[in-house]
Amino acid sequence: MTMQIAHSGPLISSDARARAREALTRDNLRTEPKAVRIAIITIAITFLTVFVVLPLVVVFTHAFSKGIAAYLAALAEPEALAAIKLTLLVAAISVGLNLVFGLVAAWAIAKFDFPGKTFLITLIDLPFSVSPVISGLVFVLLFGAQGYFGGWLRDHDIQILFAVPGIALATTFVTFPFVARALIPLMQEQGTQEEEAAISLGASGLQTFFRVTLPNIKWGVLYGVLLCNARAMGEFGAVSVVSGHIRGETNTMPLLVEILYNEYQFIAAFAIASLLAMLALITLIAKTVLERHLDEGEDASDH
């Protein structure tokens, strides 16, 4: 019991402190013996350290194992720069498409009632449960040489597979649900009163959306874009299937990590990997900050 109190410093919310104080006044009905508590905390910390912290640390130690100069040289390789550029381009396309889709879908789903809503949300969620490899395969079956549109594309000299459009399509597929899923619950919770007021005061639909709805959901939009972007830049399986691995042309950063690693160019592989790991860490920090904003917004609307 005393241990719970001792560590509730200024970082712990007043809510938690109140809870701790309340727990003190009650009996030991809701906790375990100290030895059990310590054992559980130790197991949790050890597990997370071995499976999550150490892999992250390994990436950076390997990347810098031959010094900063070697690290920077690996990143300055034309192949690396091409991969970084392609990754940014593909992420921009798929995040842009999914942002527009997410806003449109969330408006239809959150602001109106219609039958089959749950089913529609399940369909939007589908890419989360499809193997990345299958997400790439479906586009090979559509646009590949033997695919349904393969012949037509060849006749019209349009390249989708093994080129940017195919990579962008596969990435859009895997990141499809992120923005919509971030916005739908948020907009459902906010209801339609503010929008209805704006409309009855003579605002047009678009004015209402940009002046009333968008300011209310801006943190949610940012949250969805953040997660969508992280996945778009890091996607490996789906992109691997449609990219064709043309060096300097259709290799994104994750694909280049694979190629360099398989060629035993470990410094270069881990240097690129470290950029992606940094992206993941920055995403997580930004996510934590945004979640605080979103919680505050929720509290504000509660009162």
Partner 1 sequence: MLTGGLVSAIAARRRTLPGFGLTMGLTLTWLSVIILIPLAGLFLKSLELSPEQFWNILSSRRTLNALRVSFGLAFAAACVNLVMGSIIVWALVRYRFPGRRLFDAIVDVPFALPTAVAGVALTALFAEKGWLGAPLAALGIKVAFTPVGIFVAMIFIGIPFVVRTVQPVLQDLDPEIEEAAGSLGASRWQTIIRVILPSLAPALLTGLALAFARAVGEYGSVIFIAGNLPNVSEIAPLLIVIRLSEFRYADATAIAVVMLVVSFVIIFAVNRLQRWAQSRIPVR
Structure tokens at 206: 């678009």
Integer Cα distance of 299 and 95 in angstroms = 29
In the list 92, 133, 158, 214, the residue contacting partner 1 (rule: CB under 8 A) is 133
284 binds partner 1 (CB under 8 A): yes
207 binds partner 1 (CB under 8 A): no
137 binds partner 1 (CB under 8 A): yes
Minimum distance of partner 1 from residue 93's CB (angstroms): 12
In the list 72, 81, 185, 196, the residue contacting partner 1 (rule: CB under 8 A) is 196
3-class DSSP assignment, residue 64: coil
In the list 124, 182, 187, 290, the residue contacting partner 1 (rule: CB under 8 A) is 124
Integer Cα distance of 174 and 136 in angstroms = 9
162 binds partner 1 (CB under 8 A): no
Stretch that binds partner 1, among 69-77, 159-167, 230-238, 293-301 (CB under 8 A): 230-238
294 binds partner 1 (CB under 8 A): no
Integer Cα distance of 261 and 177 in angstroms = 31
Minimum distance of partner 1 from residue 73's CB (angstroms): 19
3-class DSSP assignment, residue 104: helix
By rule CB under 8 A, what string of x and - marks binding of each residue 77-116 to partner 1?
Answer: ------------------------x--xx-xxx-xxxx--
Integer Cα distance of 177 and 186 in angstroms = 15
Structure tokens at 252: 């994104």
Q: What is the DSSP letter of 139?
A: H
254 binds partner 1 (CB under 8 A): yes
Do residues 111 and 187 touch, judged by C-beta distance below 8 A?
Answer: yes
Q: What is the DSSP letter of 12?
A: S
Q: Which of residues 2-31 bind partner 1 (CB under 8 A)?
A: 3-4, 7-8, 11-12, 16, 20, 26-27, 29-31
152 binds partner 1 (CB under 8 A): no
Structure tokens at 119: 């089913």
Closest to 86 measured CA to CA, from 241, 226, 230, 255: 255
Closer Cβ to partner 1, 67 or 205, answer by number: 205
Minimum distance of partner 1 from residue 216's CB (angstroms): 14
In the list 134, 158, 214, 246, the residue contacting partner 1 (rule: CB under 8 A) is 134
Closer Cβ to partner 1, 237 or 248, answer by number: 237
Closer Cβ to partner 1, 74 or 277, answer by number: 277
178 binds partner 1 (CB under 8 A): no
Closer Cβ to partner 1, 177 or 297, answer by number: 177
Minimum distance of partner 1 from residue 66's CB (angstroms): 15
37 binds partner 1 (CB under 8 A): yes
In the list 99, 219, 270, 297, the residue contacting partner 1 (rule: CB under 8 A) is 270
Residues 6+ apart with CB under 8 A from 171: 90, 91, 93, 94, 232, 235, 238, 239
Long-range contacts for 216-220 (Cβ within 8 Å, ≥24 apart)?
Answer: 216/190, 217/106, 217/183, 217/186, 217/187, 217/190, 219/290, 219/293, 219/294, 219/297, 220/182, 220/183, 220/186, 220/187, 220/294
For partner 1 (CB under 8 A), the number of binding residues is 107
